Structure 1
Amino acid sequence: MNGGPSGFNNAPITRAVIISSVLFSLFFGIKGRSRKLGLSYQDLFQKPQLWKVIVSTFAFTSTPELFFGSYLLYYFRVFERQIGSNKYSVFILFSGAISFFLESVLLALLKDPSASITSGPYGLIFASFVPFFFDIPISTRFRVFGFHFSDKSFIYLAGLQLLLSSWKRSIIPGICGIIAGSLYRTNIFYIRRAKLPNFIASLFSRLSWPSSGSSSSTPTPRNVLGTAPSYATRPVERNYPSPLVGSVEPSEDSVAMLVSMGFDRDSARQALVQARNDVNVATNILLEAQSH
């Protein structure tokens, strides 16, 4: 279970976030300043340090945290592919802002100079576990020593490892992230309808390194984070291309990409045949089928 085809195809925002996290983490790790990262009551209310707030949004404080955090961010790129880079940017800003607000309130209530919160994009990662729990279907089940597992279990185990990596310092931002993801799912303030100006959303993709197979152009589905229904095969009445006789079988990467968005595998394959292997057109075909 890897969140769809490998690479950052149709996930430029995720690529930018991961690159930022890796660079900040390595830089402060090499400088031996990782332990100075994280937020405390003093950093926010007594001697505010803006640079520390910004850096602590991206940089992890240890190698295990960087490994598990980057892995989860990479997997959750499936949501950017599902809703598009623009709305995913809104999701990132919303989850980060709500998490930071909740963490600040908690530190203000504690008023304990020794209390601190670990560094890293915990808000985004754990907010993503909300749609992961509700919307990503289980495709494989198996048993190990009498215990039942699924392909989703590995993601939960990685999340648990990250949540407990710094004990209380990491549990607090993890819980705040889950709350932020839940608020986004309930569509508070109609947040799921919000969109950023296109030039702002595209700015993140320009800040990241180019990679083979990546594309900043994304499908424009009307689906939103928090809804990934099952799609049955239905005839579509829109004027999409008719499938060619003897057309080439759709590639597994294209089928996997649509499946990772929540579409049924057979419906995805049929839509790709009708769309002549154009993933964007196939996505629109499937979404049109949903609305009928």
Structure 2
Amino acid sequence: MNGGPSGFHNAPVTKAFVITSGLFTVFFGIQGRSSKLGLSYQDIFEKFRIWKLILSTFAFSSTPEMMFGLYLLYYFRVFERQIGSNKYAVFILFSGAISLVLEVIQLALLKDTTANLLTSGPYGLIFASFIPFYLDIPVSTRFRVFGVKFTDKSFIYLAGVQLLLSSWKRSIIPGFCGIIAGSLYRMNILGIRKAKFPEFVTSFFSRLSLPSFSSSPPPAPSRNIVGTIAPNTGRRVERPQPAPMASSVEPSEEAIATLVSMGFDRNAARQALVHARNDVNAATNILLEAQSH
């Protein structure tokens, strides 16, 4: 389960956000200031360090948190492909702003002036993304490990739990604030799900972010070599034979029904499953890619 085609294809906003978050984290980590980016009651209500509100939404406070956080942000790029970059930029702004407001309210209620109460990082966006992940991404594989049932979505949930508990109370509060923000977006408060930025905004992100590394070209198809004896020379000549065509995989009715229940056309769902060899997740990404064009 990889969230669709590799790289940031059709996800320029995610690409810019991941690069920015990574650079901010590395920059403040080199300076030894990452642990000081967390929000506290004293910073906001006594010293009025408003700049911390912005920095705390980008830079993670530790390398392990950055690794899990950027992995989840990279995976959740599938939602930008699904709703489009213009709407996804609104989702980022809405989830980040609502989560930040909820965190400030929590600081005001707790009034803890002894330490940085809340850890830094884009927890609002990450945990808001778990709402559509839970509701919209189907399970395609189930398996057991030591008798315990798992699905292909379990690894994403485990990464989320690890990030949520990485700093205990300091990370749990921002995580739950993000879940609330994602729920409000899902409920379409004030029609937020229809809002989108102008086209030039996403074009700016496309130009701003660093170019993706191009993937290596696919290997040439294998050929069967058949040896024959050329007349009059007695020399053996190798003659290439075309490789046999791979047989198509007939999609299951269960897989088709899963895609149809998500709102896709039945014929389009069947064709996508044929191309994806009955992999529901891959077929979903194919259909989403087709819709984005």
Taking structure 1 as the reference length, the TM-score comes to: 0.76
Alignment gaps of 5+ in structure 2: 216-260, 269-273
Matches within 5 A, 1:92-241: 92-114=92-114, 116-212=117-213, 229-234=262-267
SS at 2:262 equivalent: coil
Partner of 2:226: none
Deviation at 1:64, TM superposition (A): 0.6
SS in structure 2 of the partner of residue 42 of structure 1: helix
- Report the secondary structure of 1:142's partner residue: strand
Q: CA deviation at 1:199?
A: 2.1
| Paired amino acid for 1:191 | I
Following TM superposition, by how much is the alpha carbon of 1:259 offset from its aligned partner in structure 2, in angstroms?
Answer: 2.0
Contact 2:11–2:81 (Cα < 8 Å) also in 1: yes
Kept in 1: contact 2:142–2:149 (CA 8 A) = yes
Q: 1:260 aligned to 2:279?
A: no
Partner residue in 2 for 1:82:
82
Return the letter of the residue paired with 1:231. F
- How far did residue 193 of structure 1 move? 0.6
Ranges of 4+ aligned residues in structure 1 off by more than 6 Å: 249-252
Q: Could you tell me how far apart the structure 1 residues matched to 2:77 and 2:169 are? A: 27
Q: Measure how far apart 1:19 and its partner are.
A: 0.5
Q: What corresponds to 1:29 in structure 2?
A: 29
Query: What letter is aligned with 2:128?
Result: A
Residue pair 1:8, 1:213 contacting (<8 A) in 2 also: no
Which residue identity is paired with 1:207? L
5 Å matches for 1:234-249? 234=267
* 1:259-279 C-alpha deviation (Å, 9 max, x unpaired): 227x4xxxx9xxxxxxxxxx5
- Matched with 1:246 is none
TM-score, reference length from structure 2: 0.76
Look up the equivalent residue of 2:190 and give its one-letter code. Answer: F
Instruction: Decide whether the 8 Å contact of 2:53 with 2:100 is kept in 1.
Output: no
Instruction: Give the 3 Å change call, closer, same or farther, for CA 12–257 of structure 1 in structure 2.
Output: farther
Q: 1:119 to 1:166 in 2, by over 3 A?
A: same
- CA deviation profile, 1:200-242 (whole Å, cap 9, x unmatched): 333233321111459xxxxxxxxxxxxx81524248xxxxxxx
Distance 1:74 1:187, change over 3 A: same
Instruction: Measure, in 2, the Cα distance between the counterparts of 1:198 and 1:149.
Output: 41
Per the alignment, do residues 204 and 27 of structure 1 end up closer, same or farther by CA in structure 2, a change over 3 Å counting?
same
Distance in 1 of aligned mates of 2:214 and 2:194: 29
Structure 1 position 111, deviation (Å)? 1.5
State the secondary structure of the residue aligned to 1:112: coil
* Offset from partner CA, 1:150-172 (integer Å, 9 cap, x none): 00000000000000000000000
Is 1:25–1:34's contact at 8 Å kept on the other side of the alignment?
yes
Query: Which position in structure 1 is the counterpart of 2:5?
Result: 5
Partners of 2:285 and 2:121 lie apart in 1 by: 26
Identity of aligned residues (%): 68
Task: Find the aligned partners of 2:281 and 2:132 in 1 and give their Cα distance.
Answer: 19
Q: Residue 66 in 1 paired to residue 99 in 2?
A: no
Match of 2:222 in 1: none
1:114 CA displacement:
2.5
Distance in 2, matches of 1:251 and 1:145, equals 30
Given that 1:126 and 1:178 are in contact with CA atoms closer than 8 Å, whether structure 2 keeps it comes out as yes
Cα RMSD after superposing both structures: 2.5
One-letter identity of the residue aligned with 1:233: R
Higher relative contact order (CA 8 A, sep 6+): 1
State the secondary structure of the residue aligned to 1:114.
Answer: coil
1:134, CA displacement in angstroms? 0.5
